[in-house]
Amino acid sequence: MRRYELVIVGGGPAGLAAAIAAADRGARNILLLERDQYLGGILNQCIHPGFGLQYFREELTGPEYAARFIAELPKYPQIEISRRSFAVKVTARKEITYLKPGCCETIKAGAVIMATGCRERTREMIHIPGDRPAGVFSAGLAQKLLNIEGLLPGKEVVIIGSGDIGLIMARRLTLEGARVKAVLEIQEKSAGLTRNVVQCLEDFNIPLYLRHQVLKISGRGRVAGVTVLNMQENKTFELACDTVLVSVGLLPERDIFADLSGLPGLFVCGNADKVYDLVDNVTRDSKKTGFLAVEYLRSKNAE
């Protein structure tokens, strides 16, 4: 069984920052596992500007932000990168089993950093009844289809929830020629950043309906429309559309280590710890996690 001082699961902004910070602090043998074929995580599909204003003091797109850290990796030969490597099990002995094309391997770590990010809430999680037609996407999936695959999810779109990804996708779809008919929010105010409400909705005359709830999604084969409740007036109305995006929040991705809370030598950073608004803050806190992991390793070596 191969052994590493430090194993980091996740090669997004949190994992990258933690790996470089740990190397800077003196870690000599680091393995970074990334399930995708590219490093950078969710930043790769976030092609809009607005990243790095605090950390780099300049405005970058998501891929540009990730590239700043990826470009630093050749300076750190002690960081081994394993792409297309999907961690499936972490034990209390800090043994990590992961899959990659052609093999399944178990390795041993002195310390582990989980930088597994977060996942989107789905339609099923918020219990929207109705038909199950094509054309219902999470906002992040629609973002990947458009920005990575070059596929337009639909032409007439209703967005459920005003999370930041949904707001950003409202603008992105509009720029690509789709018509965003409404962003519907069940709460009294938007769940997204104020700047995104202004830049992504108000600047493009996209209506935001607060205190509105989708009661039903309709359509045979393809989405045909949604039934909406105005919660203030207790009245319903129909919105015709061919696509529905769900942007109702994110959940930290913790399933693989949920039973290991409090385990010495197991650290969690980035959106796997809590959902952040800004990647600059992810970077800052993940660097601290890298430092703490090295301090733990030193304390164990001193025993």
Q: Which long-range contacts (CB under 8 A, 24 or more apart) does 65-69 make?
A: 65/13, 65/279, 66/12, 66/13, 66/16, 66/39, 66/40, 66/41, 67/40, 69/13, 69/16, 69/17, 69/20
- The H helix count followed by the E strand count for the chain is 6, 19
pTM for the full predicted model: 0.93
End-to-end alpha carbon distance in the chain: 24
Q: Which has more pLDDT, 268 or 1?
A: 268
Structure tokens at 124: 């099923």
Provide the pLDDT for residue 25.
97
**260: DSSP letter:** G
What dihedral do alpha carbons 79, 38, 270, 106 form, nearest 10°? -60
User: What DSSP letter does each residue of 29-62 carry, written as one string?
Assistant: -EEEE-SSSSSSGGGGG--SEEESTTTTSS-EEH
Is 299 in a helix, a strand, or coil?
helix
Mean local confidence (pLDDT), 139-143: 96
For the chain, what's the residue count? 303
pLDDT, one tens digit per residue, over 209-235 is 999 999 999 999 999 999 999 999 999
pLDDT, one tens digit per residue, over 9-65 is 999 999 999 999 999 999 999 999 999 999 999 999 999 999 999 999 999 999 999
> Angle at Cα 288 formed by Cα 290 and Cα 17, nearest 5°?
60
Query: What are the φ/ψ torsions at residue 130 (nearest 5 degrees)?
Result: 120, -165
Q: Over pLDDT 90: what percentage of the chain?
A: 96
Provide the pLDDT confidence category of residue 300 given band limits of 50, 70 and 90.
confident
Provide the pLDDT for residue 58.
96
Provide the pLDDT for residue 226.
98
pLDDT, one tens digit per residue, over 184-199 is 999 999 999 999 999 9
Structure tokens at 276: 């952040």
pLDDT, one tens digit per residue, over 248-278 is 999 999 999 999 989 999 999 999 999 999 9
Q: How many CB atoms lie within 10 A of CB 72?
A: 15
Provide the pLDDT confidence category of residue 293 given band limits of 50, 70 and 90.
very high
pLDDT, one tens digit per residue, over 82-140 is 999 999 999 999 999 999 999 999 999 999 999 999 999 999 898 999 999 999 999 99
- The rounded distance, in Å, linking the Cα atoms of 27 and 244 is 47
> What is the H or E stretch that residue 281 is in?
helix 279-302
Mean local confidence (pLDDT), 283-296: 98
| Structural domains present in the chain | 3-117+253-302 (3.50.50.60), 121-249 (3.50.50.60)
- The rounded distance, in Å, linking the Cα atoms of 244 and 224 is 10
Which residue type sits at 25? Answer: R
Provide the pLDDT for residue 216.
97
